[in-house]
Amino acid sequence: MKPSSLDKILGRIDDLDSVNLSILVQRLARERKLQETVFNTIQDGILVIDADGTVQYANEAACGLIGLKPQEVGQMRLWKMVPDLARSIDPAAVDASRAAKPLLTREIELSYPEHRFVRLYMVPLDVPVGQAVAGGYVIVLTDVTEEKVSIEEMIESERTGSIVRLAAGVAHELGNPLNSLTIHLQLMERRLAKLEASEESGQLGESIEVCRGEVQRLDGIISHFLEAVRPQKPELNELDLVAIVEEVLRVQELELANRKLAVGVEVSKAVPTILGDRGQLKQVFFNVIKNAMEAMGPDGRFQIVASSDDDFVYLKFSDTGSGIRESDLSRVFQPYFTTKSTGHGLGMMIVNRIMREHGGQVGIESREGQGTVITLQFPQQHRRSRLLEDN
C-alpha cells in the first residue's frame, strides 16, 4: 500500500522544527477527531483491551452496551465490569489460546446496564501499535437482543398456539359428554321428585347431587385450564405485590401446614406498587409456590423476599427442595416439560408468558439436592408507563 503523506512526515519526525511539529500535532488531532467521529457513528460496540483486559478504547456504542463511563477508559478491566463475559471467556486462557485460536466469537447475555443479548467477535491485536495495547484484543459487540427475542417469541407463540388448539379440542370433546350428563341428571332429579319420599329416594337424591357437583367441578377445571393456556391481554391496575402474595399464601395455608413446611415473608423496605393484572399475577404466584411445595419434603423451608431498586420490584422465592438438574434448567419454560409424575408441564410456561406480558422477567437458580430460587422482576410504574407508550 502506498504510504500516505502523514506516514512520510512521521518517518522524519526527528528532523521537524517546532513550527512543523506544531502543524503535525494539529493534524494528528484532526485525524483522531475524524476517527472518533467515524467510530461513534457505528452502531456496533468497538473495544480495544490490553493483555490484562483493561479497556484502552471504547466507542459510544460499546460504552452504552456494557455501562462503561468515558473516564473509566484506561482504568477498568473488562473481565471485572462484565462478569457474564468473564464466564463466557476465561481471561486466563485468552493469552494462552492466541496461537491456537486467532479469534473468538460468542453470544453472551448481559444483565447490566440493561438486559441484552450480544454477539461478540474478538480478534488478537498482533500489529505493534504501542506498549499500552501490546498483546491485546479488538472486540466488536453486536446487539442481537431484538433478533433473539423476536425468534424466541415466535417459537413460543407457535408452541402456545398448538397448546391452545389442543386444549380447545379436548375441552370441546369433554364438554359434550358433560353437557349430556347434566341434562340426564336433571331428568333423573325431576322423575325422583314425582316419587314418594322414602329413605331410598333420599339417598338417590344425594347421589344425584354429588354427581352434579362433580360435573360442575370438571367443567370448572376445563374453564380454568383454557384460561391458563390461552394468551390474554393483562388488565392493568395499581397493585401491591406483597399483599397478593400473602393472599395466595392464605389460600394455600392448609396444604403448607399439612406438608409441615415453614414459610417466611421478608420485605426489605417499602415496596412500590406496580401496574398488573391481579388474577394473572395470583396465577403466577400460585404456580411458583405450588412447585416449591411439591419439591420439598416435610420440615422444608420456603422463603419469600420482596425488594426494589430505582426501576424494578423483585420477588425472590427460595425453597429447600430437590432442585433442578443443570441439564434441565434450559427446558423449564418449555411446554409439557416436567420432572413430576403427575405434572402437566404447563405451569412455568404460563408463568413466563404472564411475566413477559407484564414487562417483567423470570430468573431461576437451582442446584440439585439443595433447592431452587426463582426471582420475579417487575418494572415499576414509571418504567412500565414508558414501555406502554413505546408500544
Torsion angle defined by CA atoms of residues 76, 78, 81 and 82, in that order, rounded to the nearest 10 degrees: 170
Give me the pLDDT at residue 224, please. 62
Backbone angles phi, psi at 259, to 5 degrees: -85, -5
Please state which CATH class domain 149-229 belongs to: mainly alpha
308-336 in b/e form (b: 16+ CB < 10 A) is: beeebbbbbbbbbbbbbeeeeeeebbbbe
Give me the pLDDT at residue 129, please. 46
CATH architecture group of domain 237-390: 2-Layer Sandwich (3.30)
Give me the pLDDT at residue 100, please. 46
Pairing label, strands 262-267, 301-308: parallel
Strand ordering across the sheet containing 262-267: 262-267, 301-308, 312-319, 371-379, 361-367
Give me the pLDDT at residue 369, please. 83
Q: What is the pLDDT along the chain (391 residues), one digit of tens a residue?
A: 555 555 555 556 666 677 777 777 787 778 777 778 878 888 899 999 888 888 989 999 999 888 888 889 889 888 877 766 665 555 555 544 444 444 677 778 777 778 788 888 888 876 554 455 556 888 999 988 877 777 766 766 676 667 667 766 777 677 778 888 888 888 888 888 777 777 777 788 888 888 888 888 777 667 766 666 666 788 889 999 999 999 989 888 888 888 888 888 998 778 889 999 998 899 899 989 988 888 888 888 999 999 988 888 999 999 988 888 877 777 777 766 666 655 566 778 888 888 888 888 888 888 888 888 999 999 988 766 554 555 5
pTM of the model: 0.48
Angstrom CA distances, 295 to 248, 250, 370, stand at: 18, 20, 11
Give me the pLDDT at residue 101, please. 44
Give me the pLDDT at residue 102, please. 47
Give me the pLDDT at residue 192, please. 80
- SS3 labels along the chain: CCCCHHHHHHHCHHHCCHHHHHHHHHHHHHHHHHHHHHHHHCCCEEEEECCCCEEEEECHHHHHHHCCCHHHCCCCEHHHHCHHHHHHCCHHHHCCCCCCCCCEEEEEEECCCCCEEEEEEEEECCCCCCHHHCCCEEEEEEECHHHHHHHHHHHHHHHHHHHHHHHHHHHHHHHHHHHHHHHHHHHHHHHHHHCCCCHHHHHHHHHHHHHHHHHHHHHHHHHHHHHHHCCCCCCCEEECHHHHHHHHHHHCHHHHHHCCCEEEEEECCCCCCEEECHHHHHHHHHHHHHHHHHHCCCCCEEEEEEEECCCEEEEEEEECCCCCCHHHHHHCCCCCCCCCCCCCCCHHHHHHHHHHHCCCEEEEEEECCCEEEEEEEEECHHHHHHHHHHC
Give me the pLDDT at residue 99, please. 47
Give me the pLDDT at residue 97, please. 47
Cα–Cα distance, 175 to 182 (Å, whole number): 10
Domain boundaries, the chain: 42-143, 149-229, 237-390
CATH of domain 42-143: 3.30.450.20
